[in-house]
A = this chain, B = another copy of it.
Amino acid sequence: MTLAPTFSLDELNRMAPSAISAVLADVFEHAPEVAVAAAARAPFDTVTALHSAMLDEIAGWPSDQVLRFLNNHPDLTGPGERRPDLTPDSSREQAGAGLDRLHPEQAQLLAAWNREYRARFGFPFIICAARHSRDSILAEFARRRHGDPATERLTALAEISRITALRLVRKVEGRGAPNAHGQLSTHLLDTATGRPAAGITIALYLMAEGGSEFVTGSVSNMDGRTDTPLIAGRPIPNGTWELRFELGQYLSGQSPTPLLGMVPIRFTTSEPEAHYHIPLLFTPWSYTTYRGS
C-alpha cells in the first residue's frame, strides 16, 4: 500500500535543480513552480527543511496567486463522481478516507456543501483526507463551513501543509523528516499465567456511521505482539475504532466456562501522528486496557 520513497535526501541533494524539480513537481497540487523555486535552494539539511522551503515559496505569493492555487485543489467527491482532473494523489487520498463508500444521502450532502462552501469562501473545501475517516471529514466539513473567511483560508493552507508533508515523505526519505505518520499497536498479556499470549486473532474495525468496516487483522506472536503494527507508515485517521481480540480459542478447555470470548475494545483517536498503543491484559475473568506508550 505504502510505496517506499523513491530517493534519499542525500541523493536528492546531489541532483541538478531541474531533476529535483521533476521529482517534487506534484507535491503541491497543480503547482510545479513550488518545486522549481525550492530546488534552487538545495541542498537541504533535513526533509523538513526541504518542506519548509516549499511552504516558504507559497508564503511569499500575493493574495490572488494563493487564491488561484487554492482553487486548483479538487472538491471532495463521493462515489461515481470521479473527475478526470483529479490527480492520482488526490484520488488515492480521498479513496483512503472512504469517500467512495459514502451513502447516497451523504454524497448529496457533500455535493451541496461543496457548492455552498465555494460560494461562501471562493475556493474549495481542502482537508488532508489521509488524517480522517469518512465520518470525521463530514464532521469537520459541518464545522468549518460556518467558519469566518480569514480563518478558513489559514486552515486550508495548514491542511495543504499536512497534505504536502505526507506526499513529500513518500518521495524523499531521510533525516529530520516531518512527523507525518502515526502508529497503532497492541500487546496481549495473559496475567493469569504471567506470559505473553500468542496465537490470538486480532481484527481492527473502523466504526462508521451505520456500521463497522474491517481495516486490518493479525495474529499475536510469541511476545504477544503483532509482527508489524496494525497501522504504521501513514496517519491514523481520526475516528472511532474497535479492536476485536478473539480470546475464545485461547481460553477454551477451561472449566467453568470463561466469561470472555471475543473482547471488543472501542476507542476514539484524535491525534493522527501519535502512537496509540492499546494493550490488553486479561485472564479468563477480567481484563484491563489502556493507552500505553
* CB pair A191 B283 closer than 8 Å: yes
Contact: B285 with A286, CB < 8 Å? Answer: no
A161 to chain B, nearest CB (A): 21
A192 and B192 contact, Cβ closer than 8 Å, known pairs A261-B266, A262-B266, A283-B283: yes
Report the minimum CB–CB distance from A281 to chain B (whole Å).
6
Residues of B within 8 A of A284 (CB): 192, 194
Count of chain copies: 4
A265, chain B: closest CB distance, angstroms: 8
Q: Is A178 an interface residue (CB 8 A)?
A: no
Q: Which residues between 226 and 261 of chain A lie within 8 Å of chain B, taking CB atoms? A: 240, 256-261
CB of A189 within 8 A of CB of B292, answer yes
The answer on a CB contact under 8 Å between B195 and A293 is: yes
Cβ B196 vs Cβ A290 within 8 A: no
By a beta-carbon cutoff of 8 Å, the part of chain A in contact with chain B is 187, 189, 191-196, 223-224, 240, 256-264, 266-271, 281, 283-293
Give the top 5 A-B pairs by smallest Cβ distance, nearest first: A194-B285, A286-B290, A191-B286, A192-B192, A257-B270
